Amino acid sequence: MPLIYSVKVDYSMIIENLAEFASKKFGQNFLKSDVYLHKIIQAMPNDELKVVEIGPGLGDLTKELVKLRNVTAFEVDKRLCEHLNTQFEKPIIDGNFQLRCGDVLEHWDRNSLIDEPYHLVANLPYYIATRIILKAFKDELCQSILVMVQKEVAIKFSALPKEKEFSALSVLASSIGKAKLCFEVGPEAFVPPPNVTSAVLLIEKTKSMNDEKFEAFLKIAFAQPRKKLSKNLVTSFPKDIIEQTFTKLDLDTNLRPHEATTLIYHHIYNELKDYLDGQQQSKRKKLSKSRAKNS
């Protein structure tokens, strides 16, 4: 059902004053370039699956998506929800477009975004872009992720081993599929222009992964990216166990975090994950002891 608000807003005025209308809090930089909108559409996987869009904004990308697919969109800004409900009245009535008003992350914590396989396509709000992508990695219904993000974020997800940008995010992305930076987009393509260069990132998933412990392990491994990997690991695991693991896996102790492959990270993790369990248990014990003491 479209939402009905009592106060009607003249959106032609808003579009004239878009820079003023845009909310920084919600990361609003509207993509106002037909060239890039069409490049995003061309980069979409070639099948019939439904599309989920996060942050449709004024609906420029949505308009193109609705021509091709059934779309469900999540928008947090009530002013934009009102506009979208009017602009997309026909596809809403026809059942080709569903608009959910509210914070997508809150919705995702309670339910899946939709209840069938889908592709995520979005010009993401940059302040939560990484969190959204990591959520999509865990969502089994999400088959691929095609998103505009800050260029640095796109590089971190798509870097390859030995490249200096290879990071915990690259390991996670290559653990669930294949990531590629499709193309860069300059600030001038947006209103208002962001302070950074953007890029469109495509991650084609072959599986999902919901392993918080592996993420915690990677945080330790990449804590100081320019240090040796073994040095990062000894901050959280016994030194002799790290030495044994490196010997067992025939790894150079001088290896830097960006030089190990995704497979190596999974092997090291398999050797160390029991210690991570132990650590988490002792952290929990310490916490409950200090809580008992303070109560």
Taking the complex as a whole, how short is the minimal distance between the CB of residue 217 and ligand SAM, in angstroms?
A: 28
**List 77, 99, 199, 229, residue binding ligand SAM (CB under 6 A):** 77
- Smallest gap from Cβ 196 to ligand SAM, in A, equals 12
What residue is closest to ligand SAM based on CB? 55
In the set 71, 76, 92, 242, which binds ligand SAM (CB under 6 A)? 76
CB count in 10 Å sphere of residue 199: 21
Shortest distance (Å) from residue 32 CB to ligand SAM? 7
Residues 35-74 that bind ligand SAM (CB under 6 A): 54-58, 60-61, 74
Least Å distance, CB 114 to ligand SAM, is: 15
The full 3-state SS of the chain, as one line of letters, equals: CCCCCCCCCCHHHHHHCHHHHCCCCCCCCEECCHHHHHHHHHHCCCCCCEEEEECCCCCHHHHHHHHHCCEEEEECCHHHHHHHHHHCHHHHHHCCEEEEECCHHHHHHHCCCCCCCEEEEEECCHHHHHHHHHHHHHCCCEEEEEEEEEHHHHHHHHCCCCCCCCCHHHHHHHHHEEEEEEEEECHHHEECCCCCCEEEEEEEECCCCCCHHHHHHHHHHCCCCCCCHHHHHHCCCCHHHHHHHHHHCCCCCCCCHHHCCHHHHHHHHHHHHHHHHHHHHHHHHHHHHHHHHHC
Pick out residues in 225-244 that bind ligand SAM (CB under 6 A).
none
Q: Which is nearer to ligand SAM, 36 or 166 (CB)?
A: 36
Which one, 152 or 274, has the nearer CB to ligand SAM?
152
Please tell me whether residue 33 binds ligand SAM under the rule CB under 6 A: no
Q: Which is nearer to ligand SAM, 82 or 245 (CB)?
A: 82
Site track 119-148 with ligand SAM (rule: CB under 6 A), x = hit: ----x-x--x--------------------
CB of 85 to ligand SAM, least distance (A): 14
Site string for ligand SAM, 13-32 (x = CB under 6 A): -------------xxxxxx-
- Binding residues for ligand SAM (CB under 6 A): 26-31, 54-58, 60-61, 74-77, 80, 103-105, 123, 125, 128
